[in-house]
């Protein structure tokens, strides 16, 4: 690392080319599974009115209380005074969009997915950033336990595609309806009367603002107390209990392993009934790679008609960490097929044409167009892992030839300059070295 004064801001990171390979691979798996299951892509703005998040996610959640990035800009005129915030998650924005574009008029449910950056002004630590990436799925408009199970199945498929499913553990719970939770919160507060002093400071504050969060507190003292506290399960209505049992039955039908966790509550207030998270099998909750749940009251809260919804988001940085830990390589298309080396001004000129003709054929080609010696150009070709090198010196230019070197075999031969493109292309196809580029050079553009 160089000693420059400028660094990425705290909690952010550059996605360097090596990391991009993983990002691209994850996006591919996500798009593939999304299309298979009928989800369509939606991109909402990176910033929204801050009250969309405040109302949706909940005023007493960590995300809203501590982690919102408020956007300030110079006012152009008086109508410019809405306060904006960078999105800390996708769901509230997607629901805002569902209402704004009257998506209730479309065939229901509306199934949408997104991929992109989110911002939370959290304390940075391993796997916790201030700018990070998620892929996000939402099913809006119809409520049925089979949709909960199918959504979870899409996530399972993606984790399986990325070869990290075995490292994860699906935790699932049903947190009931808001009125169930209200009654439970009262009981919990009553239980803690006289016991507050035994709670760590953070949890004492939570007891006042968001008591449910005590259930998944990481503090040992709180966990011990919670064991003898009333259980949320006892406060659930029959519909929620039945709904939960049916979701579990469908998961079994689909062969999806899960662990019931009556203390799973999640950190966003909009959830109702089904909630779930994928935990790291070895470390547990701290580094969930994804989570989601049902939010049947959110659209109404944001000004729409009562509309059910369920969704999920996966944290891409954490997924990449798991892939690397598991030794999963991300297949990529950044290989160099041909390196073109040259000596002398005339050769350089001809190389420009040669390179562009090869590229037009879909062959990944780079060329050394500087003044380096032939030896150092060949070293370069090696470092790039080029399969073939085409060499063009003054002699070759005069003779209308080029030297073609097979880098792996270390053998070379002279061929006609005019045949070079055809010969190399043929060889790449014959040796099956070309996995895709010649076949669909233009058709296979990576989407963002």
Q: Tell me the β-bridge partners of 151.
A: none
Which is closer to ligand HAM, CB of 164 or CB of 355?
164
The site string for ligand HAM over 266-295 (x = CB under 6 A, - otherwise) reads -xx-------------------xxxxxx-x
Q: Token digits for 243?
A: 């709904």
What does the DSSP 8-state code read for residue 284?
A: B
Given 24, 44, 61, 91, the residue binding ligand HAM (CB under 6 A): 91
Q: Which residue has the tokens 């798009």?
A: 31
Give the CB-nearest residue to ligand HAM: 315
CB proximity list for 229: less than 8 A, separation 6 or greater: 188, 191, 192
- The stretch among 74-82, 314-322, 350-358, 381-389 that binds ligand HAM (CB under 6 A) is 314-322
Which is closer to ligand HAM, CB of 52 or CB of 351?
52
Q: How far is the CB of 162 from ligand HAM (least distance, A)?
A: 13
What does the DSSP 8-state code read for residue 8?
A: P
Q: How far is the CB of 431 from ligand HAM (least distance, A)?
A: 41
The site string for ligand HAM over 324-363 (x = CB under 6 A, - otherwise) reads ----------------------------------------
Given 233, 296, 317, 434, the residue binding ligand HAM (CB under 6 A): 317
Q: How far is the CB of 94 from ligand HAM (least distance, A)?
A: 8
Question: For residues 125-184, which are near ligand HAM according to CB under 6 A?
Answer: 127-129, 132, 134, 136, 138
Which is closer to ligand HAM, CB of 134 or CB of 173?
134
Which is closer to ligand HAM, CB of 285 or CB of 372?
285
Which is closer to ligand HAM, CB of 127 or CB of 200?
127
Cβ(203)–Cβ(222) under 8 Å? yes
What does the DSSP 8-state code read for residue 446?
A: P
Torsion over CA: 115, 121, 122, 125 (sign): positive
- The stretch among 28-36, 86-94, 242-250, 380-388 that binds ligand HAM (CB under 6 A) is 86-94
The site string for ligand HAM over 33-72 (x = CB under 6 A, - otherwise) reads ----------------------------------------
Q: Token digits for 270?
A: 């909009």
Report helix, strand and coil shares of the chain as percent, to nearest 5.
Answer: 40, 20, 40
Number of residues counted as binding ligand HAM (CB under 6 A): 27
Which is closer to ligand HAM, CB of 308 or CB of 311?
311
Q: Token digits for 131?
A: 């700018």
Q: What is the Cα–Cα distance from 226 to 212, expressed in whole angstroms?
A: 11
Cβ(230)–Cβ(192) under 8 Å? no
- CA angle 31-32-37, nearest 5°? 95
Phi, psi of 89 (to 5 degrees): -165, 170
Q: Which residue has the tokens 């569902």?
A: 98
What does the DSSP 8-state code read for residue 431?
A: T
- The stretch among 44-52, 175-183, 249-257, 313-321 that binds ligand HAM (CB under 6 A) is 313-321
CB proximity list for 362: less than 8 A, separation 6 or greater: 434, 437, 438, 439, 440, 441, 442
Per-residue buried b or exposed e for 325-344, using 16+ beta carbons within 10 Å of the residue's own CB: eeebebeeeeebbbbbbbbe
Q: How far is the CB of 106 from ligand HAM (least distance, A)?
A: 19
Which is closer to ligand HAM, CB of 67 or CB of 434?
67
* 17-36 and 316-325 helices, crossing angle to 10°: 110
User: What is the total residue count of the chain?
Assistant: 448
Which is closer to ligand HAM, CB of 192 or CB of 243?
243
Asked if 315 is part of the footprint of ligand HAM (rule: CB under 6 A), the reply reads yes
The site string for ligand HAM over 232-271 (x = CB under 6 A, - otherwise) reads -----------------------------------xx---
Applying CB under 6 A, the residues found at the interface with ligand HAM are 89-91, 120, 122, 127-129, 132, 134, 136, 138, 267-268, 288-293, 295, 311-313, 315, 317-318
């Amino acid at each position: 690392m160089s000693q420059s004064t400028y660094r990425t801001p705290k909690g952010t990171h550059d996605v360097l080319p090596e990391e991009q390979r993983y990002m691209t691979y994850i996006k591919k798996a996500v798009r593939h599974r999304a299309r298979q299951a009928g989800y369509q892509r939606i991109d909402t703005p990176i910033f929204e009115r801050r009250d969309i998040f405040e109302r949706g996610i909940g005023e007493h959640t960590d995300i809203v209380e501590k982690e919102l990035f408020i956007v300030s800009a110079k006012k152009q005129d008086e109508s410019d005074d809405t306060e904006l915030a960078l999105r800390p998650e996708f769901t509230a924005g997607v629901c805002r969009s569902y209402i704004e574009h009257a998506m209730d008029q479309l065939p229901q449910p509306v199934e949408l997915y997104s991929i992109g950056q989110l911002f939370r002004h959290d304390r940075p630590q391993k796997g916790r950033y201030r700018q990070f990436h998620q892929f996000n799925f939402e099913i809006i408009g119809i409520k049925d336990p089979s949709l909960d199970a199918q959504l979870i199945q899409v996530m399972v498929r993606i984790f399986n595609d990325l070869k990290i499913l075995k490292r994860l553990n699906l935790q699932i719970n049903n947190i009931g309806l808001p009125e169930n939770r209200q009654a439970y919160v009262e009981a919990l507060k009553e239980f803690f009367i006289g016991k507050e002093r035994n709670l760590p400071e953070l949890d004492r504050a939570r007891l006042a603002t968001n008591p449910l969060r005590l259930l998944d507190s990481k503090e040992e003292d709180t966990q011990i107390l919670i064991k003898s506290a009333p259980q949320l399960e006892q406060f659930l209505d029959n519909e929620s209990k039945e709904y939960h049992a049916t979701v579990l039955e469908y998961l079994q039908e689909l062969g999806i392993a899960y662990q019931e966790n009556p203390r799973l509550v999640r950190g966003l207030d909009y959830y109702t009934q089904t909630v779930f998270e994928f935990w790291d099998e070895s470390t547990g909750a701290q580094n969930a790679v994804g989570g989601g749940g049902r939010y049947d009251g959110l659209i109404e809260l944001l000004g729409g008609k009562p509309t059910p919804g369920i969704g999920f988001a996966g944290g891409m940085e954490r997924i990449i960490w798991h892939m690397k830990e598991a030794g999963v390589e991300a297949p990529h298309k950044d290989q160099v097929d041909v390196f073109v080396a040259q000596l002398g001004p005339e050769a350089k000129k001809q190389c420009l044409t040669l390179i562009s003709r090869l590229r037009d054929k879909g062959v990944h080609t780079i060329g050394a167009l500087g003044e380096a010696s032939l030896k150092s150009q060949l070293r370069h070709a090696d470092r790039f892992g080029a399969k073939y090198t085409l060499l063009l010196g003054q002699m070759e230019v005069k003779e209308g030839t080029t030297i073609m070197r097979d880098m792996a075999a270390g053998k070379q031969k002279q061929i006609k300059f005019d045949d070079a493109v055809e010969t190399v292309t043929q060889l790449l196809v014959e040796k099956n070295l070309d996995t895709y580029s010649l076949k669909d050079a233009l058709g296979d553009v990576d989407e963002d």
